[in-house]
Amino acid sequence: MKFGGTSVGSAERMKEVARLIVDKERKIVVLSAMAGTTNSLVDIANYLYKKNHDGANEVISRLERLYNNEVEALFSTAEYKEKGHALVLSHFDYIKSFTKDVFTVFEEKSILAQGELLSTALMNFYLNEQGYNSMLLPALDFMRTNKNGEPDSPFIKENLNTFLDENKGYDLFITQGYICRNAFGEIDNLQRGGSDYSASLIGAAISASEIQIWTDIDGMHNNDPRYVENTRSISHLSFDEAAELAYFGAKILHPTSVLPAKLGNIPVRLLNTLDPKAKGTLISAEESHAGIAAVAAKDGITAIRIKSGRMLLAYGFLRQIFEIFESYKTPIDMITTSEVGVSVTIDSDKHLEDIVDSIRKFGTVEVDRDQVIVCVVGHLVRDNKGYANKIFEALKEIPVRMISYGGSDHNISLLVASDHKKDALRALSAKLF
């Protein structure tokens, strides 16, 4: 069971999480940092990089006060209030120790780890105060990445299962999402939002019966509730559909977290801490429905079009283009081709200028920024008719820059300018659902 930052965002919310996890079933609970904490830790690190110690100290003091207030609100006995304050003090003393010396990525990552270490230790104290026999499971002892920065699954599996075997007397384990050690044994993390990934890796490592991701919405919706009214929660998605939706904008689930569950064939359930009885979304291997399930949008996309006479009847052209993106470690999301040109999209502008410079030798290059990928996801089996027609009909008033269909049975992607995003999402909802 994984609970995100808002689910553990205050003492009250932590108490609700505690109520949800204390049944008899043996389980591992993965927690994020309390909402806002990781952002504050990033701010502290940024101040320290710039040697702005006053700036850092101000954020540190504010955060420390907030945690001490949470301790007062969370615990009811003097004994645990004292334990809680001592815990907060030790973590903040540690953070403050970095304001004195050199500051590198190594120190930064140690600071970023404090949020999850705090939320889990506080939760474990609270459970103990309430009389539950829970145990902290230190993620830094088993969660590990390899030389390529990818999770080291055999290491995780072996060390986690050994720990569980050595602690047969416990049924309730509390562990940190997001944090890990790298191949050198240094403190590291699985990138922002990585707690979902932790949960999925852990679920796969122990062959869990189910992985539950608890947030504050009742599962994945069939469109973005921030822009479209009357969206509905989707009761079931296949792993592939969920992966497309998570990647193309459904914020509720981190995109990396689908793969470990899919490989281990472990169902993932998305549930709502504010409405624990709601069915939420079940993600599994089963392809239970045909047709369009949901629409999502991914912002911040740049489209690059290369037009070249040299592409005509030539082979190897695309390889040369793709190699340029590869050399700048920039992934391509969407591709469309004609006989004399190709358009691709990227979601990172970091190396845009260099990429464009390198591509220019192949032909004319046009760049469009501020684009959005609108992604229609479902079980779009090949011999079914009419999906494309419905989508085009819905978008007849909206200028479409690129269309991609047929890359998988699960996705039709369209590129539109970000000004048209809301209209496109609403028009698709009106037509499709």
Residue ranges binding ligand ASP (CB under 6 A): 4-5, 32-33, 38, 115, 177-178, 192-195
Residue 261 C-beta: closest distance to ligand ASP, Å: 16
Q: Are 367 and 303 in contact (CB under 8 A)?
A: yes
- Please choose, out of 3-11, 114-122, 176-184, 317-325, the segment that lies near Mg ion by the rule CB under 5 A: 3-11
Residue 195 C-beta: closest distance to ligand ASP, Å: 3
Binding partner of 361, given ligand ASP, Mg ion, none, CB within 5-8 angstroms per partner class: none
Residue 88 C-beta: closest distance to ligand ASP, Å: 17
Which tokens is 375 given?
Answer: 């992604």
Residue 280 C-beta: closest distance to ligand ASP, Å: 18
Residue 5 C-beta: closest distance to ligand ASP, Å: 5
Residue 400 C-beta: closest distance to Mg ion, Å: 32
Which tokens is 150 given?
Answer: 């990818």
Task: State which of residues 2, 3, 4, 137 lies at the interface with Mg ion (CB under 5 A).
Answer: 4
Query: Order of strands, edge to edge, in the sheet holding 291-307?
Result: 332-338, 341-346, 291-307, 364-379, 411-417, 402-405
Residue 37 C-beta: closest distance to Mg ion, Å: 12
300 vs 341, which CB is nearer to ligand ASP? Answer: 300
Residue 35 C-beta: closest distance to ligand ASP, Å: 8
Binding partner of 38, given ligand ASP, Mg ion, none, CB within 5-8 angstroms per partner class: ligand ASP
Binding partner of 125, given Mg ion, ligand ASP, none, CB within 5-8 angstroms per partner class: none
Binding to Mg ion (CB under 5 A): which residues in 183-222?
193
Q: Which alpha helices (H) appear in 301-383, and where do they start and end? A: 317-327, 352-359
Amino acid type, 234: I
Residue 74 C-beta: closest distance to ligand ASP, Å: 19
Euclidean distance between CA atoms 302 and 322, whole angstroms: 16
Which tokens is 234 given?
Answer: 């989707």
Task: Give the distance from CA 153 to its chain's centroid.
Answer: 19
Binding partner of 194, given Mg ion, ligand ASP, none, CB within 5-8 angstroms per partner class: ligand ASP
Euclidean distance between CA atoms 316 and 307, whole angstroms: 15
- Please choose, out of 4-12, 21-29, 347-355, 360-368, the segment that lies near Mg ion by the rule CB under 5 A: 4-12
253 vs 376, which CB is nearer to ligand ASP? Answer: 253
Q: Are 426 and 231 in contact (CB under 8 A)?
A: no
- Burial-class residue 349 by CB neighbours within 10 Å (0-12, 13-18, 19+): middle
**Residues in CB range of 354: below 8 A, 6 or more apart:** 328
267 binds Mg ion (CB under 5 A): no
Euclidean distance between CA atoms 296 and 283, whole angstroms: 17
Nearest residue (beta carbon) to Mg ion: 4
The sign of the torsion formed by the CA atoms of 108, 112, 113, 115 equals positive
193 vs 378, which CB is nearer to Mg ion? Answer: 193
Phi, psi at 372, each rounded to 5°:
-135, 135
- Quote the radius of gyration of the chain (alpha carbons, Å): 24
Strands (E), 280-432: 281-284, 291-307, 332-338, 341-346, 364-379, 402-405, 411-417
Binding partner of 80, given ligand ASP, Mg ion, none, CB within 5-8 angstroms per partner class: none
175 vs 429, which CB is nearer to ligand ASP? Answer: 175
Q: Are 213 and 219 in contact (CB under 8 A)?
A: no
Which tokens is 381 given?
Answer: 């089996």
177 binds Mg ion (CB under 5 A): no
41 vs 160, which CB is nearer to ligand ASP? Answer: 41
How many C-alpha atoms does 70 have within 13 Å on its Cβ side? 27
112 vs 303, which CB is nearer to ligand ASP? Answer: 112
Q: Are 411 and 292 in contact (CB under 8 A)?
A: no
Binding partner of 369, given Mg ion, ligand ASP, none, CB within 5-8 angstroms per partner class: none
193 vs 219, which CB is nearer to ligand ASP? Answer: 193
Euclidean distance between CA atoms 41 and 53, whole angstroms: 14
Residue 425 C-beta: closest distance to Mg ion, Å: 22
Binding partner of 378, given ligand ASP, Mg ion, none, CB within 5-8 angstroms per partner class: none
Which residues are at the interface with Mg ion (CB under 5 A)? 4, 193
